A and B are shown apart, each in its own frame.
Chain A
């Protein structure tokens, strides 16, 4: 199980690296799809069908938006060699990586091994959730019943984002 997921994540890493270094923006965007759809496969393997359904829809819309933007503008990337500022960025990102690696090793010490997760938080959510919420799907029960206010906040964020997109893309401003 862990081996399968590791192989899929390995492909996702390769896709991400190619996507970042691709010369053509269209191929970069499409290679970014490897990461998203690899995520879908991992969700299916991890027994999360709700996430897989949502992710496959979201990733498709994501790709459509990105491809539309790239086709509406230039495809080539004016790739140039690293200059002094590029070296400064590379050194900065290396330092950030080392710091993050340290904190990752510190914080993953307290984690369970993959597949041996203990239900610390979700116990009360699972016990009798189907009877309490009336929903056979526990994820739906958590999203729409126990954490309903979170979902309302999410809807507010979505509406705000749509308003933002409409405002930014409005062709004529008010005179």
Chain B
């Protein structure tokens, strides 16, 4: 249970950063932190004590495997997370070239 709670705290740290920070790079970092906490939570959900990694060994088939379904879902989500981060950083570098700053407050003031 304590691992679930720590995972949730990691998510909250990312949320705090994403809402309160004004620097675009730090907002991107906070979003990655939130992503990673979610992946970790899924992996925690599928864990079984004494289980082995879900790879079938025909020599000794009667073992307990950990749940492969959350792992498959997270595998998809990790790669999509990389794609979104790359897109986000492309937008950020484009904004920096236009405004010369990472600060979202100053970008708002420069508008118009």
Contact = CB atoms under 8 A, between A and B. Distances in A.
Interface string A108-124: 10010111110101100
Given A32-B33, A46-B43, A92-B19, A114 B4 contact: yes
B80 to A, nearest CB: 5
Contacts of A97: 12, 15-16
B46 A168 contact: no
Interface in B15-62: 15-17, 19-21, 23, 25-26, 28-30, 32-33, 36, 39-40, 43-49, 51-58
Interface string B68-107: 1101101110111111111101111110100001110100
B102 A9 contact: no
Interface in A18-63: 19-20, 25, 28-29, 32, 35-36, 39, 42-43, 46-51, 54-55, 58, 61-62
B8 A28 contact: no
Contacts of B57: 136
A85 B67 CA distance: 45
Given A16-B14, A29-B25, A100-B12, A42 B6 contact: no
Contact of B33 (A35, A157, A158): A35
A5 B44 contact: yes
A62 B85 CA distance: 7
Given A47-B52, A165-B90, A28 B26 contact: yes
A13 B8 CA distance: 10
B54 A138 contact: yes
Nearest to A26: B25
B43 A51 contact: yes
Contacts of A129: 56
A163 to B, nearest CB: 10
B51 A47 contact: yes
B37 to A, nearest CB: 8
Contacts of B65: 126, 138
A29 to B, nearest CB: 7
A36 B36 contact: yes
